[in-house]
Structures are given as C-alpha cells and as structure tokens.
Structure 1
C-alpha cells in the first residue's frame, strides 16, 4: 500500500445555514489517482473546496503529508496542493501564456517559466503551444480545460484536486484528457478526481470513494467497483457498463 498523503477524519462543513458534509472520512494514497464518485448533491465538490480551504470545515481534521492543516487557501497552495474547479477558473481576456504565468509562483515573466516543464506540458496538451498567445476565452471547452489543468501543473505539485474535467466535452476530447492524465499517473502524480464520466473513472482510477448525503459510504479499489454491477447500482444507481 502507498503511504497516505491526504486524510480527512470526521470532517463537517457548513455553508451558511446548510450542513453539507456530515463527517467525511477519506484517505488519498500518494502517487495514485483516487476517484470521488456519487450522485449529484452528494458533497463531492464541497469536499474538494473544503480541502482547499475555500470553505472552512467546522469539525474534524484534515491532514496533508502527516500534518494537520487549517490554513488559508494561499497557504494550502504553498504546500503543493492545486485545485482545478469545475468552472475551470481561467482568465478569459488573458492569453494562454499569461494564464500559466499567473499560476507560476516562482516566475515574474514568461522568460522565467521552467522551459523543461513547459515542454512537458506541451507534450501533454499540444494545443497549449498552438494557442500560446491566443485569448483563453476564445478557446474551445476542451482547450480551456487543458489550460486549467496545465495551470495547476505549471509548477510541481504534491496533490492535484480536479472537479469534473470531462463535463460537457466531446468524447474525442475526453479521450485526449484521459491520455494526458494517464501520463500524469506514470509520473506518480497524486490526484483526487471528481468525475461523472464512469468510463473515465474506470480508465484512470486506482482507488475509489463513493459519497452519499455528505458522507463517504464506500471505499475500495476502482477495479472492484468497475467489475461489480450490483455494487454500482446500490451505490450510484447505475451501471458503469452502460457508460463505456
């Protein structure tokens, strides 16, 4: 078993008057892709935002690399955690290059970007190089998603949180994303990935946690869930086999 990089124990989160997370227990092994699945409204996005400090937890503990944290979002990012929200969060009026520069804490100018890492990103997402000086807001949905993920990877990160990267994308673009994320897996990048595309979940996931009503109700190997249609129906109300 890989060592645990991220651990949530009994985490509760309130947003205004609403109690969203009801004691989340979750472990994310280092160097693996952990899928976070569940029906709409189960609490998956709130879990990612709580880990990132965007919504503070009201109870429980979050440990990263063995240390408890309850810092601000910038301090959490400094520890090497990056977040790709469902909305992607890119700056539409800025070029692809400027979007990546803003995410690079150690670079003040484009010339300061790590050339080797930039070439690695171009290998993952060739469209970045093609549209390097193009306004990010004019890119296709799939290209914007690539920019969003590349921003999170422009500097080495210990943990990548990604929320529904395939949402609204054409199947061919989804396949490109799968291939890029597989390359990240080869480099032992630790990823916690929320995804509704179950073919993508099966292709990428090492471990899986299923949420329901603000709690994690199942954890195990992704392959075991992918092979057990009865378990899929019970936990998710559908069959992965119908989403190939």
Structure 2
C-alpha cells in the first residue's frame, strides 16, 4: 500500500532570531513553506530577507527559535549537511568560478558523481546559453548568463528546496523574460523560496508570498491576492507593484 502524500510543510521557521555581531537582524521570524511551487519573500532593503535565507542554509546560526526541514531540526546544523539533505542556495553574488569553464563549474557542483546527461539536457532547455558556452570560461558570460549558470549549478542534481536571492538584479529585460519561462518550469519539479525586488517577476511566478519588515514576517498569503490589492502593496512595501518595473 503506497504512502499518502503528506500535507506537512516542507520548511518551517518558528520564532527565529539571528544576531550578526551586535546586530539583531531576525526578530522572531515565523514562516512555513508548503511542498512544491514558489514562495516569494518580499520586503524593503534591510528587512532581513537575505539573512533569512542564510540562516536556513546554516551560514548563520539562529540565536533562538527553530528551523525545521521535512520534520527534522536543522537550525545550527553545518551548511554541508544542510546541502546534503537536499537544500540548494543561489546567493545574490552568484558565486560561479570565473576562470573555470561552464562545464567545469557544473562538474564541481555535481557532488554525487558524473554529470547526468538527461539532467543536463533538461537544464539546457531551461538555459540554452549554457550549452552554447559549455567550453568557455564562465568569466566571459554576461551577468544574466552567470546567473543562469549559478541556478544551473544549484539544480545539477535534484533538490528538494532551492533558496534563490534576487536572481534578476542587474539583469537585462530580455534575460528576465527567459528566466520567467525557466522558473515556471523549475517550480514544477521542486520547492522554491525566492527573494526578489522585481515585483513583476515575483508576481508572475509566485504562488505564495511573505512580506518582511524589521526582521519579522508581517504578511503571508497568496501572491495573486497581494498582486490585486494596490492598497495592501503600498502599506506593506511603500509602493504598488505597478510602480516597479
């Protein structure tokens, strides 16, 4: 008899506080992610969005509260162990190796063994430029292409959760459109927590949304609901989504 699918959240943060030196950045974050789809984390600069991703990934340890992934506490767990559990992180800095070829970057990211050709073919459909520049140093790629490579490195093996920090920052509009198509496909395979300042991009892809302010979650709900409510957008974010191109 097959197991019934679980309705338990994939990831839960309960009362999470994070200090960085003397600074108290996260001040009791409560957040849960259902399995599958995309949750968008919005908020003004300095609200604590990147700190939330880095705390989940174990790059900073929570000073209070719990981080639970698939029923197991991971708060304070070493980052390699968190990655091994099936979580990938694409930082805002992209973190690709400029002197290595695209192929070599992908090989380094494939921790469990050789590159899987079927998986690569799927990634090339998402990001065709990577196939074109396969044998070129990553340093010759444009900013948008480097972002594609960073995401491809995160998904070179199947992941259960992907944390992505501002993938459209500084990216040309044509590349952003291509990324919308790629992300729409990607979120069918895995769960995504996306930090993003391009609200049109976020609204076109997000299933759920959480808004941060001063280190706390101040709003949670369906992305479509927030996208329709300009008064709520203005109250939570300072500007309506239509004001952000």
In structure 1, distance between residues paired with 2:218 and 2:46: 14
Matched with 2:165 is 163
Matched, 1:175 2:177: yes
In structure 2, distance between residues paired with 1:80 and 1:210: 25
Shift in Å, 1:137: 1.2
RMSD: 1.1
Task: Write out per-residue CA displacement over residues 10-47 of structure 1, whole angstroms, 9 at most, x where no aligned residue.
Answer: 00001111110000000111101000000000000000
Shift in Å, 1:138: 1.3
Runs (4+) off by over 4 Å: none
TM-score, with length taken from structure 1 = 0.96
Q: Is the 8 A contact 2:37 2:188 kept in 1?
A: no
Aligned 1:60-71 pairs, distance under 5 A: 60-69=65-74, 70-71=76-77
Q: Is the 8 A contact 1:96 1:128 kept in 2?
A: yes
**How many residues matched?**
239
Unaligned runs of 5+ in 1: none
Shift in Å, 1:157: 0.2
Matched with 1:53 is 58
Matched with 1:224 is 225
Matched, 1:77 2:78: no
Unaligned runs of 5+ in 2: 1-5
Which SS does the other structure have where 2:63 is aligned?
strand
Task: Write out per-residue CA displacement over residues 74-125 of structure 1, whole angstroms, 9 at most, x where no aligned residue.
Answer: 0000000000000001111111011111111112xxxx21110010000100
In structure 2, distance between residues paired with 1:175 and 1:88: 19
In structure 1, distance between residues paired with 2:175 and 2:37: 23
Shift in Å, 1:2: 5.2
Q: Is the 8 A contact 1:2 1:31 kept in 2?
A: no
TM-score, with length taken from structure 2 = 0.96
